[in-house]
Amino acid sequence: MRLLLRGVALAAAVVAGPAFGMGQGLKVCLESGPPPLSSDTHEGIDLIATRLVADWLGRPLDIVWYRVEDDADASPAAQVNGLLSAGVCQLAGGFPLVSDALRAPSDVPWPVELPDGERRFVKLGTLMHAKPYRAVDYRLILGKSAAKTAVASLDEVKGWRLLAEQNSLADNLLLAHGGGVLRADVIHVPMAQAGVLAALARGDGDAALVEGPQFDAWRAAHPDGALRDSGYRHALRVNVGFVALDVQRGLVELFDGAIADLLESGDLEAAFAKQGYALQKPMEPVVLPPLTQRLLGQPE
């Protein structure tokens, strides 16, 4: 079956022609950051997935690293779209599949900082996504001062000092819970600081809501650390995948075939486990609807 899929992919590449760039390598944009994010200095989860797809397709890989702009007006989704629209890369990995991020762009040119430092205004294109290759779960992690060793519901932590990265989805999940009953307890940790888990380890809070892979990375780097998994998992999960402009439809379809096989065969799960990460497999819905307060505050 896997040989058959590869044969189909090769035939599709011939049909895709210029959209795929026959005889050329793959150029993929990835966000550079601390574990579990990928960077040119360590093997993060999105780099693992990108390399596996490139190997599956038999194509040389060129990674273009970028950093999310950290200011009040920044839009990570528009930044990725701008890099793709400027022709910096063909696809971008590690993209959260949320309809808000995939929605049709505005007609106003967007300022994009290119890898060489140049800043250019770019007319954004229309994004499309490949099949997701992982999902993100949200876990409540306990610090040394936590009054419990296990938590089954966020209702149990009312009155605690709750940390979350400022303006992140975890932050909004805490704020929306129960119609806002935890709002006074949430401490927003700026993105530019060392990180939510570092703040929790310092004693700045009692617990933190973080992405699952983020805690996996922390535990691998601090095996004797005092932070503990409460066992709580928020019901909301977000799929993560590759995106491209809609003019790259042929290439996206090739990625679909590769990702489906890598998930079914267990190759992606094994590669994640080798680096100390538990693969959270994609789930329905593939793309989350708009992140309204009603959706974020759904009962657990």
Domain boundaries, the chain: 2-134+239-274, 138-233
Report helix angle 249-265 to 267-274, nearest 10. Answer: 70
CATH number of the 2-134+239-274 domain: 3.40.190.10
**In the block, which residue shows the tokens 């900082």?**
113
Q: For the chain, where are the E strands, in sequence order?
A: 26-31, 61-66, 91-96, 110-113, 119-122, 127-129, 134-136, 138-142, 162-165, 186-189, 207-211, 228-233, 238-245
Which is nearest to 162 in space by CA: 174, 150, 144?
174
Identify the DSSP state of 137. Answer: -
Task: Measure the CA–CA gap between 277 and 43, rounded to whole angstroms.
Answer: 11
Using 50, 70 and 90 to split pLDDT, how confident is the model at 20?
very low
Do domains 2-134+239-274 and 138-233 share one topology? The answer is: yes
Residues 55-76: tens digit of each pLDDT: 999 999 999 999 887 665 668 8
Which is nearest to 178 in space by CA: 33, 297, 98?
297
Residues 256-288: tens digit of each pLDDT: 999 999 999 999 999 999 988 999 999 999 999
Mean residue pLDDT of the chain comes to 88
Q: Tokens representing 35?
A: 């574990």
Task: Measure the CA–CA gap between 273 and 58, rounded to whole angstroms.
Answer: 23
Task: Measure the CA–CA gap between 197 and 243, rounded to whole angstroms.
Answer: 29
Q: What pTM does this model have? A: 0.85
Looking at domain 138-233, its CATH superfamily turns out to be Periplasmic binding protein-like II (3.40.190.10)
3-state SS assignment for residue 250 = helix
Handedness of CA 157, 163, 168, 171 (dihedral sign): positive
Task: Measure the CA–CA gap between 27 and 245, rounded to whole angstroms.
Answer: 13
Per-residue pLDDT, 26: 96
Per-residue pLDDT, 17: 40
Residues 65-104: tens digit of each pLDDT: 998 876 656 688 999 999 999 999 999 999 999 998 998 7
132: phi then psi, degrees, rounded to nearest 5: -65, 150
CA end-to-end distance (rounded Å), the chain? 40
Q: Tokens representing 270?
A: 């094994």
- Cα–chain center distance at 194: 19
Per-residue pLDDT, 293: 76
Per-residue pLDDT, 292: 78
